[in-house]
Structure 1
């Protein structure tokens, strides 16, 4: 048998150190790490590159709301947006915002967010995102640490910001993205010592201002991107213009090398993932560079699929939470139809699955069976990219089969502007996150306490460490945390545990921090267990918890409302109950736990990995109630505190009814 293809290679000339693997690079970019093209060294160069390609083509699109109803997308051209950005940037400068001073942005994705970002790149301002749903404590921390004087915000945030002036003493200006009846807010702001301007007023202010040739340099700070964090105060990753460019150009480079999808000016992207996070910033940066079109969602994730059907994007980037929901809904719908329709679906599904190693398409099944499913994402999707957290292999296969599209998985962190790994074109292997970005190299370092070592067989295992042109400069004003994360040789210690497989691909198998030990000594990786349970049609969200003094796991479960009501309707003893009543019913709890146990066993969970008791909550885990980060990761410490009494009751054997 021939040796398997190697997608990564050892760094030429590298010397192996005890307790770690040799660093590895992308097999097509082995000799040197990618940084930038000759004529594109800053993020403003990235914008200008796309503008030359796109010109008067559509660039930024929104759906106007008329009498509460979303209308078809309306577009601004690339040239028109460029003029607006330049005027707006000059207007900000005229208001007194100086080079390398921070500018906050507070609101959901919309054209003004992107234009603010580009204006910052143009004038070397430092853009700092304030997550749309951050609590006052985190906002206070970020604003005061960066000595922020200017915040660009949506109108619904203005009163809140004015009310926080006593704890945000540095704030001098609020620029409102909307044009609205601003008079009353302007008076309140003035009384608090804040000047209120609208976005268009700042644009007009800059129209007549002379353009100064104060272009950014590659080493200027582009953004301080604060980690949403599941515990503790947020940390501000300092990312330079050059570091941002390295990631975007790397995505272009792997497209040109045919190891990733190629994006060009004909592509269209739906922008809904929070721009406060680097995943969406890097994705948008790719479309800015290539001159593609960006269509924004309405600002309500409940209406996202409607926006997608209207926009008909060619590229869709999302997170496992949404993919899991689509997976659950489609399979549930198929099962409920039953009969010939279900039999045909599963026959087509298995036929495509058997050939996934070579293709995601089938001349008959794509039209006969999967066409209507494909329309749920607009019908034009060329490829899908998942990031933020690992996706289960079943869901990855499902997306490839049902949407007849290439599906990639990305891996990255705030601390390297998302520039860690991408899966490889036409390699539909599940359970891996791919190979390094051309701007990065990766090694694994032993974690003896968890028994992961570089000498493990059949594959080396250890903490994933990344070095390269996208790794942050530092945590802002936080040398202690910087030293914990960046070592003296420039390696970023991710806290993720990985292995290199037989083809040199990286797989994430554990997390250094999100792991705990039960009283009998068994290590538990809760995310893995939650991922299994959340594939069950009755389960929308799961929080698995284990006390180190206990020998079993418990779970906080938010059921899928539609599926639980459908399930209950078929059972006379439950059929007249509401969703809230079902969640509080001890018999329902017992039935759901039994279904979870059977499902967990079918999906390979060991006995000690199964939850033994659950609490059903009718309340969804959301960003608004602080149980999820803005990138939809579970805040474990917050969840632990919120459900402390329920966890205690489960371990004590007390009833909730």
Structure 2
């Protein structure tokens, strides 16, 4: 049996038939079922050599790389100083630890110290680090259900999830222990807190005394591991139908929903991603996207399945590039928020005056022309002279960059493909389908702006949305709500029949809430949202999230919130400018040199009519570039240095804007923009 589970694309890949509509499946009000044009629809475990459970994934990686580096981190040398290298644990070393943790947990659940709910659930509340993955691997092997808590979650959300999932044990980092102990009396179910860090010696007595008063036990992870080593138990056999995870969604508009994901759901997603993934050596992934989010989890499971390594970032976003340059990853799962910054920084550097700027412009033009006609994103001369420096920012060793979680502008995607000169793959997925629905194919010259064909693990169809004017009979391409079905799709929300029935229909189709078109090559193009839409006073429907994503590609914009009111005929918004870009713009306009670190001067610039007008003009350019209709464009903006953050409750842990809270934060300013009345002309105004 081959241990290499990767399935390469065939050499004669037909880019004109990326998905195929299954004959006889079309019904009134919907398209037929579309399946992957290369592999069709692959059921879970369709071949003896394929993966069926998360244990299969781990055991394959272990067999491939037993004594090779697996999980790594940069050790701390002093309070503010990190080593300039990664320290690694091998697969064999991790195996000892996951068995110890799993054995200890099994004993505690079996004795009744833990448990008592419908399922044996275990919480993990930590930033990305090796221990996060080791604990999760232990849960997979000993039939426990992992419940991930975003590191940035507030007290109320943590309390809700602990109650809802009936968590009697939570693994947490040191800084979260006080919050858990404060919550414990009101929860009544939390019995054990396992501190992933060693508790500072001076704090041990205080913590144990406090925990005793709350009738909760606190242990260090190393203590739990010692207990498991003393009474080892072999890992259990698991089946594809065994529940592996309750993954709580971010909750942009309501309380978080617990997505029930089985071993089969997650393994199907990973196995599907192995079709068309072409690592010719061991993968090395830089982990910085939250492991509590399904996208990062699937990416790391993919690397494990090929016996690769995961290097965890230092925990400080400002040191991410430093982490990348030390680790030199060949796999970089990312999101538009990060990749837009790479694009903007590179374009600013490339727009230098004189010969340097001319060389950059020529290289850019030449490579874009080649990409858009042939699909080839490399060039011997221009890569060496110009673009190698951009790739070096992320370590200089990239093989694959993936982009998901939100749309990214086609121009940005094309630039990244030629600048990074590796596979830059945009995909689409959601928690409910294991972050796996569709993915672009390599060397496709016109794929930017699409999310590719369905993955081989699922099939898709489009269902009419009459209220928004989208139908399966639209020309030139059918349009409608994207629905997905396959072994990667979840079975429902935990203890939530209402939302389950609204999302999953009787035939097992997951209704995504995204509106898509399927083009003549069989690729999915996301065009709108069924949810998060609103109707303006004159009856036009607008998708606020879509508009925000398009404006976010503007180099001046760090964050943008688009606001509409059904009693008004136009959109307004809040713009948080990028400080480097704002400093440059304000310096040019005022004639005074302003530093990006000069908060006072930048604050004054946000209130300068000339600066705000210039930002509006830049937004207008972005709107025109993306063919936004007049009613979809911002007509007035409030410019501020006060960002939307997880801490102030205006962002979810996955950095999506919480609309209700964002409006509440800037209600005075936004209401004042509308109070100015109808814009006098097509040119936007400002406050």
TM-score tier after normalising by the smaller chain length: over 0.9
Partner of residue 221, structure 2:
199
- SS of the residue corresponding to residue 556 of structure 1 reads strand
Q: Distance in 2 between matches of 1:395 and 1:78?
A: 38
Q: CA deviation at 1:161?
A: 0.9
Aligned to 1:538: 556
Matched, 1:317 2:328: no
Q: Which residue of 2 aligns with 1:600?
A: 623
CA distance in 1, matches of 2:43, 2:370: 35
| Residues 210-256 of structure 1: per-residue CA shift (max 9 Å, x gap) | 3245322221110011110211111111011111111111111x12x
Counting only pairs closer than 5 Å after superposition, residues 228-247 of structure 1 correspond to structure 2 as 228-247=250-269
Structure 1 stretches of at least 4 aligned residues deviating more than 6 Å after TM superposition: 654-657
Partner of 1:258: none
Q: Which residue pairs with 2:10 in the alignment?
A: none
Within a 5 Å distance, the mapping from 1:32-111 to structure 2 comes to 32-35=42-45, 38=48, 40-67=51-78, 68-71=80-83, 72-96=85-109, 97=114, 100-111=119-130
Q: 1:571 to 1:451 in 2, by over 3 A?
A: closer
Q: Deviations over 1:133-158 (max 9, x none)?
A: 22222222211111110000010100
**Residues 82-128 of structure 1: per-residue CA shift (max 9 Å, x gap):** 11111111122233356941101101100110011101100010000
CA deviation profile, 1:162-209 (whole Å, cap 9, x unmatched): 111122221000011111315122221122111111111111110021
Q: State whether residues 613 and 650 of structure 1, in contact with CA within 8 Å, keep that contact through their aligned partners in structure 2.
A: yes
TM-score, normalising length: structure 2: 0.91
SS in 2 for 1:544: strand
Are residues 464 and 603 of structure 1, via their aligned partners in 2, closer, same or farther at CA, if it must alter by over 3 Å? closer
Q: Indicate if the aligned counterparts of 1:42 and 1:245 stay in contact, CA closer than 8 A.
A: yes
**Deviation of 1:363 (Å):** 0.5
CA contact (8 A) 1:64 1:70 kept: yes
In 2, the alpha carbon distance for the partners of 1:290 and 1:592 equals 47
Tell me which moved more, 130-139 or 294-303: 130-139
**In the alignment, is residue 270 of structure 1 matched against residue 286 of structure 2?**
yes
Post-superposition Cα deviations, 1:264-313, rounded to whole Å, max 9, x if no partner, equal: 65110001111111101110110111110000001121211111111100
**CA root-mean-square deviation:** 2.0
Aligned-residue offset at 1:586: 4.2
Deviation at 1:36, TM superposition (A): 5.9
- Checking the alignment, whether the CA contact within 8 Å between 1:100 and 1:124 is kept in structure 2 is no
SS of equivalent residue, structure 1 residue 355:
helix
C-alpha distance in 1, partners of 2:246/2:279? 27
Consecutive unaligned residues of structure 2, counting only runs of 5 or more, are: 1-13, 595-599, 678-684
2:572 pairs with 549, 554, 557, which one?
Answer: 554
The within-5 A match list for 1:432-447 is 432-447=450-465
CA shift in 2, pair 1:603/1:479, >3 Å: closer
CA distance in 2, matches of 1:545, 1:16: 38
Residues 415-436 of structure 1: CA distance to partner in whole angstroms, max 9, x if unpaired? 1111211111221421110111
Maintained 8 Å contact 2:553/2:622:
no
Q: Is residue 2:429 matched to residue 1:412?
A: yes
Contact 2:613-2:686 at 8 Å conserved across structures: no
TM-fit CA distance, 1:30: 2.3
**Separation of aligned partners in 1, 2:225 and 2:46:** 31
Shift of 1:518: 1.5
Aligned to 1:297: 313
Which of 21, 26, 31 is matched with 2:31 structurally? Answer: 21
Give the SS at the match of 1:554: strand
| Residues 1:618 and 2:641 are matched in the alignment | yes
TM-score when normalising by structure 1: 0.95
Aligned counterpart, 2:659: 636
- Are the structure 2 counterparts of residues 294 and 278 from structure 1 closer, same or farther at C-alpha, using a change threshold of 3 Å? same
Match of 2:356 in 1: 341
Q: Is the 8 A contact 1:36 1:245 kept in 2?
A: no
Separation (CA, whole Å) in 1 of partners of 2:235 and 2:343: 51
Counterparts in 2 of 1:282 and 1:264: CA distance versus 1, 3 Å: farther
What's the secondary structure of 2:638's corresponding residue? strand
Question: Could you say if the C-alpha distance between residues 247 and 31 of structure 1 is closer, same or farther in structure 2, counting changes exceeding 3 Å?
Answer: closer
- Aligned-partner SS, 1:614: strand
Distance in 2, matches of 1:632 and 1:364, equals 38
Cα separation, 1, equivalents of 2:512 and 2:546: 18
In structure 1, runs of 5+ residues without a counterpart are: 256-260
1:583 aligns with 2:606: yes
Deviation at 1:640, TM superposition (A): 1.8
Change (3 A) 1:366 1:591: closer
Find the counterpart in structure 1 of residue 212 from structure 2. Answer: 190
Partners of 1:35 and 1:439 within 8 A in 2: no
Contact 1:35 1:249 in 2 (8 A): no
Match of 2:582 in 1: 564
Distance 1:628 1:442, change over 3 A: same
State how far apart, in whole Å, the 2-side matches of 1:41 and 1:147 are. 28
Residue 148 of structure 1 is matched in structure 2 by 167
Distance across 2 between alignment mates of 1:367 and 1:566: 29
Are residues 310 and 123 of structure 1, via their aligned partners in 2, closer, same or farther at CA, if it must alter by over 3 Å?
same
